[in-house]
Structure 1
Amino acid sequence: MKTSLMLLFVWLVVANVSGMLPSKDNHWRRAYVLLALFVPLIVYVFYENPWWVGLLAIVAAASVFRWPVIYFMRWVRRGLKSE
């Protein structure tokens, strides 16, 4: 197995375990750290694997970051409706 995929799986496990732990700030601090780690990781996944593996990695991250993705989509829709 390639290094980028192993790192991605470790990231996914850490993200899911950190989501199960209690948090006073609704996990936002952990989400920022995980997102900062995910950006270079996804570039590495796209670099080392076929493009469809990178898209699967993005879908996996979107399932972990579902609320930030939902908020982003709402923000985009509001921006498109105001024009």
Structure 2
Amino acid sequence: MTTPLIFAFLWLIAANLIAMLPSRDKHWRAALVLIACGIPMVGWVTAEAGPLWGMLVLAGGALVLRWPLIWLWRAMRR
């Protein structure tokens, strides 16, 4: 397993642990930090492990951060 994939799996574990913690702002600050770390990580995984793994990591990140994506989609439709 390559280093970018290890970091991507650690990112997924950290995102799930953060989601279990209570939050007053409905986890928006944590989501922004996860997005800021996750976007370059998807590029790193794609460059090192190939586009298939990059798409899988992107799909995993989208599953974890689905509400920011849903809100972005609704804003774009308006």
How many corresponding residue pairs? 78
In structure 1, the gaps of 5 or more residues are 79-83
Amino acid at match of 1:69: L
Please tell me whether Structure 1 or Structure 2 has the larger radius of gyration of its CA atoms: 1
Q: Write the deviation string for residues 24-72 of structure 1: whole angstroms up to 9, x where unpaired.
A: 1100111111111112111100110121111111110000111001011
Amino acid at match of 1:77: R
Partner of 1:5: 5
In structure 2, the gaps of 5 or more residues are none
DSSP 3-state at the match of 2:24: coil
What's the RMSD between the two structures over aligned residues? Answer: 0.8
Q: Distance in 1 between matches of 2:75 and 2:10?
A: 30
TM-score by length of 1: 0.89
After superposition, residues 1-83 of structure 1 pair within 5 angstroms as 1-78=1-78
Identity of aligned residues (%): 44
Q: Distance in 2 between matches of 1:58 and 1:47?
A: 13
Deviation at 1:75, TM superposition (A): 1.6
